[in-house]
Amino acid sequence: MSTDDAFPQPLGGNTMPRFGGPATMMRLPPTDGRLDVAFVGVPLDIGTSNRPGSRFGPRQIRAESCLLRPYNMATRAAPFESLVVGDAGDVALNTFNLAASIDIITDHYRSMLQNVGVPLSIGGDHTITYPIARALAERHGPLGMVHVDAHADVSRTMFGERITHGSWLRHAIDDGYVDPRRTVQIGLRGTGYAADDFDWMAGLGARVVPAEECWHHSLTPLMHEVRAKLGGGATYLSFDIDGLDPSVAPGTGTPEIGGLTAIQGLEIIRGLRGVSLVGADVVEVSPAYDASGNTALVAANLLFEILCVVPGVAYRTA
Amino acid sequence: MSTDDAFPQPLGGNTMPRFGGPATMMRLPPTDGRLDVAFVGVPLDIGTSNRPGSRFGPRQIRAESCLLRPYNMATRAAPFESLVVGDAGDVALNTFNLAASIDIITDHYRSMLQNVGVPLSIGGDHTITYPIARALAERHGPLGMVHVDAHADVSRTMFGERITHGSWLRHAIDDGYVDPRRTVQIGLRGTGYAADDFDWMAGLGARVVPAEECWHHSLTPLMHEVRAKLGGGATYLSFDIDGLDPSVAPGTGTPEIGGLTAIQGLEIIRGLRGVSLVGADVVEVSPAYDASGNTALVAANLLFEILCVVPGVAYRTA
Amino acid sequence: MSTDDAFPQPLGGNTMPRFGGPATMMRLPPTDGRLDVAFVGVPLDIGTSNRPGSRFGPRQIRAESCLLRPYNMATRAAPFESLVVGDAGDVALNTFNLAASIDIITDHYRSMLQNVGVPLSIGGDHTITYPIARALAERHGPLGMVHVDAHADVSRTMFGERITHGSWLRHAIDDGYVDPRRTVQIGLRGTGYAADDFDWMAGLGARVVPAEECWHHSLTPLMHEVRAKLGGGATYLSFDIDGLDPSVAPGTGTPEIGGLTAIQGLEIIRGLRGVSLVGADVVEVSPAYDASGNTALVAANLLFEILCVVPGVAYRTA
Amino acid sequence: MSTDDAFPQPLGGNTMPRFGGPATMMRLPPTDGRLDVAFVGVPLDIGTSNRPGSRFGPRQIRAESCLLRPYNMATRAAPFESLVVGDAGDVALNTFNLAASIDIITDHYRSMLQNVGVPLSIGGDHTITYPIARALAERHGPLGMVHVDAHADVSRTMFGERITHGSWLRHAIDDGYVDPRRTVQIGLRGTGYAADDFDWMAGLGARVVPAEECWHHSLTPLMHEVRAKLGGGATYLSFDIDGLDPSVAPGTGTPEIGGLTAIQGLEIIRGLRGVSLVGADVVEVSPAYDASGNTALVAANLLFEILCVVPGVAYRTA
Amino acid sequence: MSTDDAFPQPLGGNTMPRFGGPATMMRLPPTDGRLDVAFVGVPLDIGTSNRPGSRFGPRQIRAESCLLRPYNMATRAAPFESLVVGDAGDVALNTFNLAASIDIITDHYRSMLQNVGVPLSIGGDHTITYPIARALAERHGPLGMVHVDAHADVSRTMFGERITHGSWLRHAIDDGYVDPRRTVQIGLRGTGYAADDFDWMAGLGARVVPAEECWHHSLTPLMHEVRAKLGGGATYLSFDIDGLDPSVAPGTGTPEIGGLTAIQGLEIIRGLRGVSLVGADVVEVSPAYDASGNTALVAANLLFEILCVVPGVAYRTA
Amino acid sequence: MSTDDAFPQPLGGNTMPRFGGPATMMRLPPTDGRLDVAFVGVPLDIGTSNRPGSRFGPRQIRAESCLLRPYNMATRAAPFESLVVGDAGDVALNTFNLAASIDIITDHYRSMLQNVGVPLSIGGDHTITYPIARALAERHGPLGMVHVDAHADVSRTMFGERITHGSWLRHAIDDGYVDPRRTVQIGLRGTGYAADDFDWMAGLGARVVPAEECWHHSLTPLMHEVRAKLGGGATYLSFDIDGLDPSVAPGTGTPEIGGLTAIQGLEIIRGLRGVSLVGADVVEVSPAYDASGNTALVAANLLFEILCVVPGVAYRTA
């Protein structure tokens, strides 16, 4: 493989068997110095309201990422040929204190952004998007948001707590970190308490795409609309694995039936090529609920696909 | 939430964490007095021919139903605002004697229908639909039947027994409890012994929709036809979870590939709005074959969606 | 069975199949009024440092308790013949805030103790013993403590938090709720940071019985010593399921090898007959790590055996 | 290996990899003609009161038996050098009708005993021992019985049914197929309804060995007593896998804690050398509750060890 | 069922319960003499690069095939009415030596083809297709190939080895056993090292259908093109279960997201009716990664559907 | 913790939550330079004869080792206070070629021993002990061997192959790498082909301790004898996880019932204090057969305990 030495490469399957080697994301080598893109683990799951376990998401997603190879056969993206990509390890959060952890994550990202261009975060539950968005917004201004999820995550509070996995987006908007007019929610569905969840977002100018609108067809056309709405501004992609159907991603905490297919997930991400992506996450993988490891494998693939649409990625010609 | 005190409400997720509280359906409070709709568990599985375990269906489906909230975001149905809904517990069947249990179930429903409008039954294997249909037909006359299933369930006998999970429908028709001219079967597929299974039903005037007819598209158009066929008469919905593809509902006893998606399952149920539904069931969930709990979660969602199309449900305006 | 009507009885296996009926502890009927003994669920797991999931302990332990019958064949205890026993449901804790939950639990027990003699608590992680002990000590004075566990649970703090599943006992002692001179720890083992964990307790007058002291023999002799140490004062039994070997109780969060057998667990509990037990708990069952359900079954049995040594239990004559 | 051609041999691990070859017991070749010992599958599980699934016991036990080699390293038994052993397949029972199946099994064994010396049966639930014992008693007279189990199985009825997995032994005695004075029960424990279960047997002259009597020591001394009690008469061994502790055999329907170790199970069987064994069974393996397959592996080993004490087995000299 | 005695029939579900009877494919009786179609197990998995376990594929697929009935309800194929079909057991490969096993398999098929018309092979990993194709090409000349897979399997070497599960097709072409101009690959996707994988095949005249070309629609139209490309020559179908999406077939070694649905798998196979099929395989089922057994069930169904398009199968008239 | 900076320390549980941080053994930091002790992964499993999957042993054992703390509470060993310990990663073996991998492993250890004092190897299947012993014997002369296992591993060949997981020890002795007069085998049991397996070793002067000799008592007395036999010479400990009972270590490839307890495993290792240990391994953990992760956890603990008896370890005073 002819790649400049400056670009760290994932450990290859013919150099070390896939089940061996370091359990970093894609078996990337140790890093220091500046990274264009960093994979970051955020093993927080005390912001979750039903099944826990996403604290083991980063470890399991990295483990299953051993199957990933560096080149995207479908899109011809070759991210490791033009970007310095590394695995920046995990945030040392406080697993006993949600509010404290939110502050720790915020500070961690503030600091990390000195040396990292685009953080791709591995959850953890969805609470983590609030502090990440905060740190990124401090740098880039209010973020456009592509939010793939079964749930709107705009509760005011949960059991009196302000920032949780079901309320982070409302407060990220209220606190000015996310721009609702450049926000799209895809995959919302299921049961709720009131229509407000969907209506509040729409009222602020967001585009809400319930799962029903996605059924039975490609999301590629939708992504034209999404790119237009996002415009050229700094944008974040938050991909809750429960946006996908439980048949695709059984290992998650609050599954809802009738969700997106893996194919639609790929279409969403590939449809973000050209967008000014400044960060992204894949959250809510709870490995204990999928003994096969495949939910983590789905997440690992989504993270690689996101890497393939980070600004600056090289694409090979056909 | 503004609901009249007369309407019992599911225990809310901000009142008690979802993993706590009573393990009734949707964590409904104890009931007495008349119910418009009752969830009833029928933990019978000795009528099954392959993998057993659906005896644990009622317990597991109720456990997973803790994630359900009272309002249907997609259809705007708010069943707990206009109907008195309760969990009526389980039928005390004889787990050692299939024929005796069929009689016990019949008697239980005969008695229960004094105080319950619409029973929504939680199986248990498909045998249970025979005695339930019998009790309902004694009250309402021969029932229209929407039968979602991988199998036709019209065997004459199985090992010499008349009423089993693979023969109940033939005898429900022969005995006059189900009207074949107002019967639709959706999702039939797989291997068999002869074409008769499908042809016998069609010959009696039923509409048989094999899975192949459902592939790759929405079932919403089909449901127009179904509603027309059902007309205004009393109708029963029997939803065998194996009507869905095993990828969606792995935890079942006689899975067949190439089945319906969860989305199509939702379309079928939502397409029954306006039909005179007098009862329904979701059967054949065998929890031991899905450690994630998600098959039971699918069933819990289907039961909630069925509740949302029971006559008399309130729908909020957009 | 000849029992006074005043004593609620578990639903019998010939009245309702074991897989049916209410998912209360031992399928006990709904309760109101005073209880001699109450089973209480405390579905807290955000005080845990490794694998989560014990929030589902109460639900799963109750589900598996369906196999329990009311009479103890080995000891001839017949608790439901002389005590009013009920299932008092779950504590509505705040799953997002550990400190707040500790206060909620404290208040819940303070209030409950108005009407309940002996609470038998179903965890949840080990953090819950702190608030329970607090409420009980407010009523009974400093408690004697029989603490079965792989871990000493006497860390000063964990990640800066004072009350967690690994530090509750130190603070329960420091705050005066537990009397170290009437405390016995059984089953301690594994790796640590320093010998202090064991030495601090011993220095305060506690009896520390490492697992190694338990290997290869009955614990019945030890229990003579334990009863002597406890004397006649109010005593609490806190049984961490990880006191047992992981082969016996695989479904737990911080398993340590070389632990107690189930037999030794039974010997400990049966050895407490005659002690002034004012409360007890079984904690740290994490169902997602044991798909068979058997860890929860072990816990259900331990809870029943504890019930059999509550003061006032009737014993049948041989 | 020097064995007469007349003796069928298990397929060897160096002839066909263990994961290949026929899924018969120990990969024995097809049989016809007379057998000294026959393995027989009895896939009945509708006589069970809690978790079902032992209908898959025969298939799974045979599958896991692929690991067995023909020689007993500990006892030097070489059963395939002196006995004609075969796998006689399964009984074609009626899975929808317990009473009918009991008759089918009876007739099957009556007929099979024309050509089979000692049937070793693979359950299936414990109900099967009644019809097997009946057929054997018709040939040999009332049987001595070694009954390893957590439960006494002497209920009068269950839900009104006479012969079930919890009542078979009472009726086998009452109907004259089992001689209680030559009966030993080992491993009884757990909860019950009354002391009668144990006392009734003892009153008839049986030796009841509760699990508590087995704790912490070898059962080899007990087996001296057992052999004396059995004397020289025809004897049956019925080994319920739940006689073992759930840590050893998690995949079973009604597990009880505090049971026998696998070692004690081996000691019991090896202690029967010299007894006039005319049949045996291993029952109640429910594979769905042990994804590792190990419970079935335990059962396969127990069956091999039983084969090693069938009268007429060759033992190699040291 | 009216079938000539000359045609062996699968054991019926009303003759022996599905969970009983021999664990041959579809519970077919023992065979000798010539077979039109033989199911053959090839339990090789040391040619796999990630998760192993497909060595247990043949055993598990046969076990799950018990649910199959002899008639195809959708296509009206009745293969057992016109073809002599049997289960020819497993290849006795050397599980410690890949190269040796490839030779063993080659020789086994060379010999078997004396008496077998069309072998339908049950993998095992994909390496097995090389020796099978070799033996078939020696008899029929270079084979047309329908290759359903997530991966192109055209690596030059893996860790220096020539024939592995990721390189077999390149060498089968280079060595003249497969005709690339009559080759179609369906379902390719995921990550790789370079575009060459796809381009090399296309350059030789093969038709490469990436998964993306299959998304959201029926593959029936594609199969018209496929049949045209295959023409009348001898053709082989190699169906890697990972061609299907992991949601459909989780139990496999190198899963890739965004794959085919089970429905599309059926369409591919049914679309081969009329093609001169001389052999086929279903490979890469790794049972340990799907505790439900459903991946093996999918494979069993695919094998039955393949049987239904073998030349000479009878089709009943509607 | 007061340790010299020269000694790398495992990442602490209050520095980074246990479920975060690097997935190295005990979360040790990256290493370079000389190591007193190195953990080395050898992810080979193509030398196994039944269930595969131990290729994932190193990854899973490291993952579960996150729970280990640096100090041994029972023995007061503090290995990280006096030894430079690191995780040296995995051997890049050829997963398609067993013979080639044996050479790769040999060369890897030869080279590694330039900079590593005592390698503690993480299997992988038992084949790996042959090349490791070879490299160590080249340095230290013929090794004393403590071999804990259910199997003697002294087959001459398996399917014609010389070095496999069932034959490595015979050839390690024949080739002069292991001294049989300083060899002890502990835990042998189960079925075999002939008594030779045990007798051959004994005939060479080895001490063979079958499992039966270990039943029901502590192995501490045995270890006096073992230390005497080993004398002062260089010694290797090879611990096959299947030496333990399947109840303790279900996740392994060739389980045999009636094995050692975890306690006995600890006694064996602790009993080696003072022996000239030059290397050790824990092998045959197959994670796919234990979804709880606990078998890997057992192995991680055993590896830590072995570390605690490496010559030169500091012991704190009581």
Contact A90 F43 (CB under 8 A): no
> Do D73 and F192 contact (CB within 8 A), yes or no?
yes
pLDDT value at residue D196 = 73
**Annotated domain spans of chain E:** 34-307
| CA A177, A180, A182, A183 torsion-angle sign | positive
- What residues of chain F lie within 8 A of the CB of A41, using their CB? 20
C-beta separation of E75 from E270 below 8 A? yes
User: Do B52 and D52 count as a contact with CB atoms less than 8 A apart?
Assistant: yes
> Any idea what the Cα angle at residue E169 is, between residues E164 and E175, rounded to 5°?
100
Cβ contact C125:C45 at 8 Å: yes
Query: Which run of H or of E encompasses D87?
Result: strand D85-90
Residue E311: alpha-carbon gap to chain centroid:
16
pLDDT given for residue C2 in this prediction: 41
- Beta-carbon contacts below 8 Å between C and F: 90
- Examine the pLDDT at D260 and tell me if it is beyond 50: yes
SS (H, E, C) B113-170: CCCEEEEEEEECCHHHHHHHHHHHHHHHCCEEEEEECCCCCCCCCECCECCCCCCHHH
Please give the structure tokens belonging to residue D214.
Answer: 């087995």
With beta carbons less than 8 A apart as the criterion, state whether F39 and F303 touch: yes
Q: Given an 8 Å threshold on Cβ–Cβ distance, is A56 in contact with F19?
A: yes
The alpha-carbon gap from F287 to the nearest alpha carbon of chain E, in Å, equals: 10
- pLDDT 10s digits, D245-255: 999 999 999 99
Q: Which residue has the tokens 């089973």?
A: C39
- Within 8 A of B63 by CB-CB distance, chain C residues are 23, 59, 63
Q: Which residues pair with E283 in a beta bridge?
A: E240
Tokens 């979750």 belong to residue? A48
pLDDT, averaged across chain A: 96
Q: Cβ E23–D19 below 8 Å, yes or no? A: no
Model pTM score: 0.97
Low-confidence ranges of chain A (pLDDT < 50): 1-3
pLDDT of residue E317: 84
F 96-115 near E (Cβ less than 8 A): 96-100
> Out of D67, D74, D304, whose CB is closest to F50?
D67
Tokens for F261? 């307890």
Q: How far is E16 from chain D (nearest CA, A)?
A: 5
For residue F226, what pLDDT is reported?
98
Contacts of D99 in chain B (CB under 8 A): 97
What is the per-residue pLDDT across A243-287, written as a single tens digit (0 to 9) for each? Answer: 999 999 999 999 999 999 999 999 999 999 999 999 999 999 999
Q: How is A120-151 classified by DSSP, letter by letter?
A: EEEES-GGGHHHHHHHHHHHHSSEEEEEE-SS
Do A247 and A109 touch, CB atoms closer than 8 A? Answer: no
Contacts of B1 in chain A (CB under 8 A): 193-194
In this complex, the chains that touch E, judged by 3 or more CB pairs closer than 8 A, are A, B, D, F
CATH superfamily of D25-315: Ureohydrolase domain (3.40.800.10)
Which residues in A lie closer than 8 A to residue F59 (C-beta atoms)?
Answer: 19-20, 23, 63
Mean pLDDT of D214-242: 98
Interface chains of chain F (3 or more CB pairs under 8 Å): A, C, D, E
What angle do the packed helices C294-307 and C262-270 form, to 10 degrees? 20
> Percentage of chain A with pLDDT > 70?
98
Per residue in A191-218, pLDDT tens?
A: 998 877 778 999 999 999 999 999 999 9
- Residue to mutate among D294, D313, D317, with most F CBs inside 10 A, is D294
Q: How far is F243 from chain C (nearest CA, A)?
A: 15
- Nearest residue of chain A to residue F15 (CA atoms): A92
The CA distances from residue B199 to B185, B196, B206, C214, in Å, are 12, 5, 10, 70
Flag whether pLDDT at E243 surpasses 60: yes
**C306: three-class secondary structure by DSSP:** helix
How many residues does this entry show for chain A? 318
Handedness of CA C278, C283, C287, C293 (dihedral sign): negative
Subunit contact E50:A69, Cβ cutoff 8 A: no
- SS3 of C104-139: the string is HHHHHHHHHCCCEEEEEEEECCHHHHHHHHHHHHHH
Provide the shortest C-alpha distance from residue D253 to chain E (in Å): 17
Please give the pLDDT value at position B5.
64
Those of residues 158-187 in F touching chain E at CB distance below 8 A are 158-161, 164
pLDDT tens digits for chain B (318 residues)? 344 568 999 999 989 999 999 999 999 998 878 999 999 999 999 999 999 999 999 999 999 999 999 999 999 999 999 999 999 999 999 999 999 999 999 999 999 999 999 999 999 999 999 999 999 999 999 999 999 999 999 999 999 999 999 999 999 999 999 999 999 999 999 999 887 777 899 999 999 999 999 999 999 999 999 999 999 999 999 999 999 999 999 999 999 999 999 999 999 999 999 999 999 999 999 999 999 999 999 999 999 999 999 999 999 886
Sign, Cα dihedral of F28, F33, F38, F41: positive
**With an 8 Å Cβ cutoff, are E52 and F49 in contact?**
no
Q: Strand, coil or helix: what is E284?
A: coil
- Tens-digit pLDDT profile for residues E199-212: 899 999 999 999 99
Q: Write down the pLDDT at residue C201.
A: 92
Chains with 3+ CB–CB pairs under 8 A to B are A, C, D, E
Name the residue among C20, C58, C90 with its Cβ closest to that of B92: C20
**How many whole angstroms separate alpha carbon D108 and alpha carbon D99?**
14
Q: Contact E20/D90, CB-based, under 8 Å?
A: yes
Q: Span F117-128, mean pLDDT?
A: 98
Question: Residues, chain E, total?
Answer: 318
Q: Which chain B residue lies closest to A216 (C-alpha atoms)?
A: B217
| DSSP track, E242-271 | GGB-TTT--SBSS--SS-B-HHHHHHHHHT
Partners of A95 on chain F (C-beta within 8 Å) are 17, 19
Q: Per-residue pLDDT for E4 more than 60?
A: no
Burial class of residue E193 in the structure, from the number of CB atoms within 10 Å of its CB (0-12 exposed, 13-18 middle, 19+ buried):
middle
The sign of the torsion formed by the CA atoms of D104, D108, D110, D111 equals positive
| Average of per-residue pLDDT values in chain F | 96
Residue E3: its pLDDT value, please?
47
| Burial degree of C318 (CB within 10 A; 0-12, 13-18, 19+) | exposed
Measured distance CA(D292)–CA(D295) in Å, rounded: 8
* Residues of chain D found within 8 Å of residue E86, distances taken between Cβ atoms: none
Residue found by looking up tokens 């209920």 in the block? D155
Q: Which residues of F241-266 are buried (b: 16+ CB within 10 A; e: fewer)?
A: bbbbbbbbbbbbbbbbbbbbbbbbbb
Which residue from F18, F248, F263 is facing C215, i.e. has the nearest CB?
F263
The CA distance from C21 to B80, in Å, is: 24
Whether the predicted pLDDT of D5 surpasses 80: no
Q: How far is CA E8 from the centre of its chain?
A: 22
Instruction: Report the DSSP pairing between strands D235-240 and D314-315.
Output: unpaired
The alpha-carbon gap from E49 to the nearest alpha carbon of chain A, in Å, equals 7
Mutate to test the interface with D, among F197, F218, F245, F247 (most CBs of D within 10 A): F247
Print burial letters for E268-279: b (CB count within 10 Å at least 16), e (below 16): bbbbbbebebbb
Q: Which of C19, C73, C262 sits opposite D191 (nearest CB)?
A: C73
Q: Is the pLDDT of residue F73 over 80?
A: yes
User: Positive or negative, the Cα torsion across C107, C108, C112, C113?
Assistant: negative
- CA A129 to CA A127: how far, in whole Å? 6
The residue ranges of chain C whose pLDDT is under 70 are 1-5, 318
Cα torsion D223, D228, D233, D239 to 10°: value is -20
Q: How many CB atoms lie within 10 A of CB A184?
A: 23
Residue F5, pLDDT > 70, answer: no
Tell me the C-alpha distance between E154 and E162, whole Å.
Answer: 10
**C-contacting residues of D 222-281, CB under 8 Å?**
245-247, 250-251, 254-258
Count Cβ atoms below 10 Å from residue B46 Cβ, excluding itself.
27
E189-195: average pLDDT? 88
In 3D space, the residue among D161, D164, D143, D144 whose CA is nearest the CA of residue D153 turns out to be D164
What's B25-307's CATH class?
alpha beta
Q: What ipTM score was computed for the predicted complex, to two decimals?
A: 0.96
| Domain range F34-307, CATH class | alpha beta
Quick check: helix, strand or coil at residue D41? strand
CA D30 to chain centre: 22
- For C25-140+149-177+237-257+277-307, the fitting CATH number among 3.40.190.10, 3.40.800.10, 3.30.420.40, 3.30.70.260 is 3.40.800.10
Interface test with A, best of F15, F18, F19 (most A CBs within 10 A): F19
Do the beta carbons of residue E39 and residue E29 sit within 8 Å? Answer: no
Rounded CA separation A37/A118 (Å)? 5
Q: Is the dihedral of CA C143, C148, C154, C157 positive or negative?
A: negative
> Between the CA of residue E141 and those of E109, E138, E169, E172, E235, what are the distances in Å?
15, 6, 16, 12, 10
Which residues, including other chains, have CB under 8 Å from residue A213's CB and lie 6 or more apart?
none
- Set of chain F residues whose Cβ sits within 8 Å of the Cβ of E126: none
Residue that is written with structure tokens 């006039």 in the block: D276
How many CA atoms are closer than 13 Å to the CA of A194, on its beta-carbon side? 9
**Predicted pLDDT of residue E146:** 98
pLDDT digits (tens, 9 = 90+) for F24-71: 999 999 887 899 999 999 999 999 999 999 999 999 999 999 999 999
